[in-house]
Structure 1
Amino acid sequence: MRRLVVLGAGTAGTMVVNRLRPRLEETEWSITVVERSTVHRYQPGYLFLPFGAMRPEDVSRPVARTLRRGVELLTAEVDRVDVDAREVLLADGRSLPYDYLVVATGTSPRPEETPGLPEALGGDVHEFYTYGGALRLAARLADWTGGRFVVHVAEMPVKCPVAPLELTFLAEAYFRRQGIRDRVDLTYVTPLSGAFTQPVASARLGDMLVTRGIAVEPDFVVESVDGDAHVLRSYDGREIPYDLLVTVPVNMGADLVSRSGLGDELNFVPVDRHTLLSRASDRVFAIGDAADVPTSKAGSVAHFEVDAFVENFLEHVEGRPMTHAFDGHANCFVESGDGRALLLDFGYDVEPLPGTYPLPVVGPLSLLRETRVNHLGKLAFRHLYWNVLLPGRRMPVPARLSMAGKDVRAAADPAPAGATWKE
């Protein structure tokens, strides 16, 4: 009996076991997924919880209900992986041997990496990258009457890099609905050179914040958060005061990755960016947010990775070359408020371009353009997530990045006359 062990039953890990179980004979392969939590969270929903657009029950299901029959669920904490012995060592002293291992342990916010932030969290400093944090922010917004509202990104990479922008747009629309927009100063603080950094997207979308009266503070490398003075401080001496701060802390991979000697300085697993095979062992893969691939850490990336990974894994365990290359495909909706959203579609070698998706001309989704249909597409994704994506069924979009429907001329002329992000 050959043994496949998957660490993590989040989006990537769940898709891996559910897609592989029908492809691996149960008389020849055991599949075990190790997960410390008993609840699976739909993390894109965290963005909507602070504004009451989703309910807690919309984003939560028992882990056991998300797994196919024939997958063993082991609820446990992992201490480390002994790569040489091919064993997963659990925190309670047990060991779990494997023939092949998939690391799908994700990424998580680390407030402790920013001086002053752990002490400041709560009250007037919040985050929304955890379930509890999103609910606490909802409670705070419910009775907030105005002031300096700051959304801050500590460092890249972060899970779903457009989410901080989305929260900024949704907050601006929320304050208008509450009738307090004229009493709120909004500032978006980023360590990057701007809200959008790819040339075409920046040229076409750069005025989205300006037209909404949102100030942008770029190239801000945070040094500390002073909760008493209500101030963000950067290494270059800049200070940004706030009355209500929503921060995205430094994101890092699981500590067990570091303890196992499998990770980089941020605990992400270095892999071949096309096959996802670990550079430390030909018996170990990493997938989803746990891998160090140079694309977004997002659920869509995990989905497109899994499509290539499953075929590669089946080839690899039979000693054959892996022939299905992951091309960095990422697909991100950007909520912009008032029931509208943008869509970005890109890969390792293709930046976000305007056009239609997934089909030329008819779409029905629009790229780099705000539409009601895009917003409805993002809301519909929750149903697809629970009922199609996680169970391992095929999604109705291609896994490989397609140029169909994209205006490739935009790369040469990022902002032609009349270009607009509105529809």
Structure 2
Amino acid sequence: MTERIVILGGGTGGTLSANRLRRRLGDDVEITVVDRDDDHVYQPGLLFVPFQQAGPGGLVRSRPRQLHAGIGYHRAGVRRVDVDRDRVQLDDGETLPYDVLVIATGARLLPEETEGLTGPGWGQSVHTFYDYAGATALAGALSRFEGGRLVVNVVDLPIKCPVAPLEFCFIADWYFRVRGIRDKVSLTYVTPLDAAFTKPVAARALAGLLAEKGVELVTEFNTGTVYGADGDPGRRLVSFDGREVPFDLAVVVPLHGGAAYVDASPGLGDELGFVPTDPHTLQSTVRPNIFVIGDATALPASKAGSVTHFEGETLVRNVARFLAGQEPLAEFDGHANCFVETGFGKALLIDFNYDTEPLPGHYPAAVGLPLLKESRLNHLGKLMFAWLYWHSLLPGRDIPGVGSAMPLTGKRDAVTTG
């Protein structure tokens, strides 16, 4: 009997997993991908939409068309997973039994969980760029913005692409300088962290860039309420400890959680709706025949596309081993790398994993892209990644010279931080 692999989610993790599994296992398995719609969005590109540097033509493509021949696609929402009976119940009434389940449904935005965020001012003075509709609305708001206090606020962690809010600040500085109104705009970055970023070396470098570009940094700010309307008390963020940050235009990264069906599936997820996962094998801690990839995991790794790409190799190998009755290999090291767009046609690159924080040097070897240093080359690398995403990452191909394990070659002071 042909074994059945069901993959929940047709985004980055689900698509590359399906394609890699198809190439590895061929007709020995039946692979079905499930998603609620057909629009695959290139999420890193959302950062550029508010600044009118990207549009739908390059960001949105058909989900099923990204899948190799022989992979089934079922358009429906997921109602729940019955982990005891190895089956998925869908919103359209269908039930899909599985021998292996791959959860790749990412993270969802939960703006309604923050008091006032979706109240008066939402979509007018308060925006997000973390979905396509929000990024498009923000583009109009920025084009009309002639000066005042612009605040970029991360409500809480974890979030998708942790460097994106910082990138927004850097590009906003460039954008307003090009428009000739930078002296009329006050930029503030508000974060719940005690620094600009989670990793100390990178945090110092990124805080230095914020200061250099005249962006105020407000740390340890846990947003409790957002007031987005004019009048008393005025537009402002209020933290749980009573601190306030006033604004004329706010760009907010809302609280994130896992997919809604996870909460409706007893025993599947944690309190945020993410799925507990072995950090090195990507096998869930819920059941041995459930594997998890990308933003859907509860791993202490960045929720970023590069992490999903590096996870794919380990996940596919371990799914194949599970089907063959073998123990999974503990191979994934938490590898992540991120291009950080800094404006003016430059970017810096950070590369790290569970144990080693971002270090200076070059990637992926001694001769390569500069790390923790602004350069035109890194900016071009970020732009080129979009092509690699559609033509290499999603089809499940390896990128020459770029392995899933984090390289130490080319890094200075390459020691683990534990």
- Kindly indicate whether residue 387 of structure 2 is the aligned counterpart of residue 383 of structure 1: yes
Judged with a 3 Å threshold, the aligned counterparts in structure 2 of structure 1 residues 204 and 384 are, in CA distance, closer, same or farther, namely same
Counterparts of 1:146-157 in structure 2, within 5 Å, are 146-157=147-158
Give the equivalent residue in structure 2 for 1:85: 85
CA deviation after TM superposition for structure 1 residue 411, in Å: 7.9
Give the equivalent residue in structure 1 for 2:284: 278
Q: Which amino acid letter does the alignment assign opposite residue 247 of structure 2?
A: Y
Kept in 2: contact 1:353–1:410 (CA 8 A): no
Give the equivalent residue in structure 2 for 1:71: 71
Give the equivalent residue in structure 2 for 1:252: 257
Q: Which amino acid letter does the alignment assign opposite residue 375 of structure 2?
A: T
- Which whole-Å CA distance do the structure 1 matches of 2:416 and 2:10 have between them? 39
- Which whole-Å CA distance do the structure 1 matches of 2:66 and 2:132 have between them? 18
Counterparts of 1:203-222 in structure 2, within 5 Å, are 203-222=204-223
Match of 2:342 among 319, 336, 343: 336
Give the equivalent residue in structure 2 for 1:201: 202
- Kindly indicate whether residue 52 of structure 2 is the aligned counterpart of residue 48 of structure 1: no
Match of 1:353 among 352, 355, 359: 359
CA deviation after TM superposition for structure 1 residue 108, in Å: 1.5
- Which whole-Å CA distance do the structure 1 matches of 2:134 and 2:186 have between them? 22
CA deviation after TM superposition for structure 1 residue 52, in Å: 1.6
Give the equivalent residue in structure 2 for 1:416: none
- Which whole-Å CA distance do the structure 2 matches of 1:51 and 1:174 have between them? 7
Give the equivalent residue in structure 1 for 2:409: 404
What are the superposed Cα offsets for residues 201-233 of structure 1, whole Å, 9 maximum, x if unpaired? 233443211111110110000110012221100
Give the equivalent residue in structure 1 for 2:180: 179
> Secondary structure of 1:394's match?
coil
Give the equivalent residue in structure 2 for 1:101: 101
- Which whole-Å CA distance do the structure 1 matches of 2:129 and 2:382 have between them? 18
Q: Which amino acid letter does the alignment assign opposite residue 230 of structure 1?
A: R
Kept in 2: contact 1:192–1:220 (CA 8 A): yes
Counterparts of 1:106-121 in structure 2, within 5 Å, are 106-119=106-119, 120-121=121-122
- Which whole-Å CA distance do the structure 1 matches of 2:47 and 2:30 have between them? 37
Kept in 1: contact 2:365–2:407 (CA 8 A): no
- Which whole-Å CA distance do the structure 2 matches of 1:145 and 1:341 have between them? 26
Give the equivalent residue in structure 2 for 1:241: 246
Give the equivalent residue in structure 2 for 1:419: none
Q: Which amino acid letter does the alignment assign opposite residue 208 of structure 2?
A: D
Give the equivalent residue in structure 2 for 1:30: 30
Kept in 1: contact 2:223–2:239 (CA 8 A): yes
What are the superposed Cα offsets for residues 397-421 of structure 1, whole Å, 9 maximum, x if unpaired? 1110110100016889xxxxxxxxx
Q: Which amino acid letter does the alignment assign opposite residue 399 of structure 2?
A: M
Give the equivalent residue in structure 2 for 1:288: 294
- Which whole-Å CA distance do the structure 1 matches of 2:136 and 2:32 have between them? 32
Q: Which amino acid letter does the alignment assign opposite residue 317 of structure 1?
A: L
- Which whole-Å CA distance do the structure 1 matches of 2:205 and 2:264 have between them? 44
More moved, 204-213 vs 321-330: 204-213
Counterparts of 1:258-269 in structure 2, within 5 Å, are 258-261=263-266, 262-269=268-275
- Which whole-Å CA distance do the structure 2 matches of 1:406 and 1:376 have between them? 21
Give the equivalent residue in structure 2 for 1:319: 325
More moved, 225-234 vs 160-169: 225-234
Q: Which amino acid letter does the alignment assign opposite residue 380 of structure 2?
A: L
Give the equivalent residue in structure 2 for 1:169: 170
Judged with a 3 Å threshold, the aligned counterparts in structure 2 of structure 1 residues 50 and 282 are, in CA distance, closer, same or farther, namely same
What are the superposed Cα offsets for residues 108-163 of structure 1, whole Å, 9 maximum, x if unpaired? 21101100001131111100000111111111111111100000000010000000
Q: Which amino acid letter does the alignment assign opposite residue 246 of structure 2?
A: P
Q: Which amino acid letter does the alignment assign opposite residue 136 of structure 1?
A: A
- Which whole-Å CA distance do the structure 2 matches of 1:212 and 1:280 have between them? 46
CA deviation after TM superposition for structure 1 residue 25, in Å: 3.4
CA deviation after TM superposition for structure 1 residue 352, in Å: 0.4
What are the superposed Cα offsets for residues 342-371 of structure 1, whole Å, 9 maximum, x if unpaired? 1010000000000001120x21x1110000
CA deviation after TM superposition for structure 1 residue 197, in Å: 3.8
- Which whole-Å CA distance do the structure 2 matches of 1:393 and 1:285 have between them? 20
> Secondary structure of 1:336's match?
strand
Which runs of 5 or more structure 1 residues have no equivalent in the other structure?
413-423
> Secondary structure of 2:130's match?
coil
Give the equivalent residue in structure 2 for 1:123: 124
What are the superposed Cα offsets for residues 274-309 of structure 1, whole Å, 9 maximum, x if unpaired? 111111111111110000110100000000000111
Give the equivalent residue in structure 2 for 1:21: 22
Q: TM-score, normalised by structure 2?
A: 0.96
Q: Which amino acid letter does the alignment assign opposite residue 303 of structure 2?
A: K
> Secondary structure of 1:341's match?
strand
Q: Which amino acid letter does the alignment assign opposite residue 250 of structure 2?
A: L
Kept in 1: contact 2:151–2:190 (CA 8 A): yes
Which runs of 5 or more structure 2 residues have no equivalent in the other structure?
none
Kept in 1: contact 2:36–2:76 (CA 8 A): yes
Kept in 2: contact 1:186–1:215 (CA 8 A): yes
